[in-house]
Amino acid sequence: MVLPVESVSMKKKKKPSLVITLSSAGLLIGSGIAAYWLLNQGQPWSRNLPVGANIIPQDALFAISLSTDPGQWQKLREFGTKQTQAELDKNLVQLRDRFLTNNGYDFHKDIEPWAGDQVTIAVLAPEASKPTSKPVATDGGVTNNGQSLVIVVPIKNQEKAKSILAQPKAPKGSKWIDRTYKNVAIKESTGNLGENFSSAVVDKNFLVITDNPKNTDRAIDAYENKTTLATSPGFAENFSKIATYQPFAQFYVNVPYSAKIASASGNHQLPDQVLAQLQNNQGLAGTITLESEGIGLKGVSWLNPSSQRVLSMDNNVGEMQNLVPTETLMMLSGGNLQRLWSDYVLTAQGNPLSPMAPEQLRSGIKSLTNLDLDQDLLSWMGGEYSLSVIPTSSKQGSPNSFRAALVFMVKATNRSRAEAAFKQLDEVMRTQYQFQIQQATVGDKPVVNWIGPFGTLTATHGWLDGDIAFLSVGTPVTDQIIPKPNQTLASTVPFQQTVPRELNQKNGLFFLDVERTAKNFPLPTFLPNQQTLLDATRSIGVTTAASDSHSTRYDVFLSMKKAGNPGSLPTAVNSPTPSSPSVSITPNVLITPTPALTPSPLLKITPAITPSRKGRVRN
């Protein structure tokens, strides 16, 4: 749910470019961990909006606000396996040493007395070829002129902040330059490699740090003109829908502009019609919490107020999990397959990044079955549907054998058309593929079996109560769904503990038993080090719902394994003895844009960063 940043090597006298994509959250995670080490003290607090939302300009590509409560970070370290725990700790140590230990400052002396309890990191949109006053930038050409980072640190003690920040230490080989913009005092410094750092106190309550003086001016302008994230259409309203007590993180993504940046910067440019569709979307936001058994996410996306598109309020999902047995490994359900296909066609046609072109799928169905996808199949699939992976029950095979079926169910909105489609399909399987079409009865329900050329039962279709059609492909599991099972997936502990329940009415639901599935199926790879992450996860649950005609809610929960108390992080080599921990930093340290984890000559920090007190761990 978060946008990634792809860093490129820094060259002398040239700032690295910033490439925004829609698939990873690398910079967010890295910056968040760094923020923790820089601001790891203070009492947790709750806000509906991210810190600095009243300062960050509206054209920010994304923003993330992270808790600095050490108890929450300790809790994060407890999740997973020993391997994931070690990997996380390694990254924390690298960031700690880069930003703190390898440089020469004291956290308790220079930062803790005044810094607040959260920090927000934002990336501003590159300057367009011409200005626009629209909330979502859609006009003008995009000029990718490098990173545009803005970090906002709340000030909890103005007097201490004033005394400490009055004489900040300049980076090696440079000096601070004072200037004023709209009566706001600004300090700037240019480093050896040409990076510009700028800091200013805005509204007496926020330290604003940027990597470009122009961005400091933009933030001040946005604050005075009230053209910030907080005043963006739908921003505050939709964040209130996902507000939670003491979140671990909050994030916001400017969807259409980020897509435009990604298209302009990447190897695959999005077609104009796809970009036009994305302009209908205004934003995506989320709140992440660390719970006793895993990681939760509340998300919301909303449309541009000027969009002519409206969302369907068909929140009618909730039956399919009661029709599949407890053995079910995975289930995906939705409210209207016909509408889902229509929405997919709008964005997939002519889009090289789509998994499959609509026309290709249509022609494939026609070639294999002689059926028209839209007229013969989707025309009667307007009710709730599901796709499940159901293994044979333990009674049906030996403990060492594993067989499963893919089971599709859909509530028919026109049963006569559905029955006609199945008859056509049976005939195609008989005449074109030499399958035997066998009428049978399971329980009290008539079914049709497809018997392969070698006498193997390959597939079964039929009807359940309530005009629900089903098609099962693979090992025979029909007797596990007919008659309706007494113990269903919905009654299992993993399902109940994983699938979020806050959304009473839903238009989508997903459940995956990661532990059992990963043992028997090779899952497709979507992320680097995916197997390591899967090994740390027990199950995944997702629910979605149309909140209103212009916004959609998402609830996600990852049930995690626990590796136990991770203990203290290794003491840095150059740090003092553990009995006298010390860390400090000057304002410019917060925004070093260098991508590598090697020490930057612009950073001056010292030793150990072991927290002086433990934070409260919340369930």
Over the stretch 338-392, which tens digit does the pLDDT of each residue have?
999 998 887 777 666 677 889 999 999 999 999 999 999 999 999 999 999 999 9
Lookup: tokens for 111 = 């930062």
Alpha carbon distance 387, 407 (integer Å): 6
Q: How far is CA 98 from the centre of its chain?
A: 27
Angle between helices 358-369 and 415-431 (to 10 degrees): 60
Residue 47: predicted pLDDT: 56
Measured at the CA of 440, the angle between CA 435 and CA 441, to 5 degrees, comes to 150
Peptide linkage before 483 cis (omega within 30 of 0): yes
Q: How many CA atoms lie within 13 A of 279 on its CB side?
A: 15
Closest CA to 138 of 30, 324, 263: 263
**What would the mean pLDDT of 555-576 be, rounded to a whole number?**
77
Residue 31 has pLDDT above 60, yes or no: no
> How many angstroms separate the Cα of 88 from the Cα of each of 74, 79, 410?
11, 10, 43
Would the CA dihedral through 370, 373, 378, 379 be positive or negative?
Answer: negative
Residue 15: predicted pLDDT: 39
Alpha carbon distance 474, 125 (integer Å): 50
Residue 127 has pLDDT above 50, yes or no: yes
pTM above 0.95, yes or no: no
pLDDT band at 314 (very low <50, low <70, confident <90, very high): confident
Rg over CA atoms, the chain: 28
Alpha carbon distance 33, 98 (integer Å): 12
Collapse the DSSP code of 187 into the 3-class scheme (helix H, G, I; strand E, B; otherwise coil) and give the result.
strand
Residue 566: predicted pLDDT: 80
Residue 279 has pLDDT above 50, yes or no: yes
Q: What is the largest CA-CA distance in the chain?
A: 87
Q: Are 252 and 79 in contact (CB under 8 A)?
A: no
Q: Are 99 and 34 in contact (CB under 8 A)?
A: yes
Each domain of the chain, given as residue ranges in start order, spans 5-13+27-127+145-289+565-591, 312-548
Residue 335: predicted pLDDT: 92
Q: Can you give 529-586 as a three-state secondary structure string?
A: CHHHHHHCEEEEEEEEEEEECCEEEEEEEEEECECCCCCCCCCCCCCCCCCCCCCECC
Pick the residue with more confidence: 9 or 121?
Answer: 121
pLDDT band at 158 (very low <50, low <70, confident <90, very high): confident
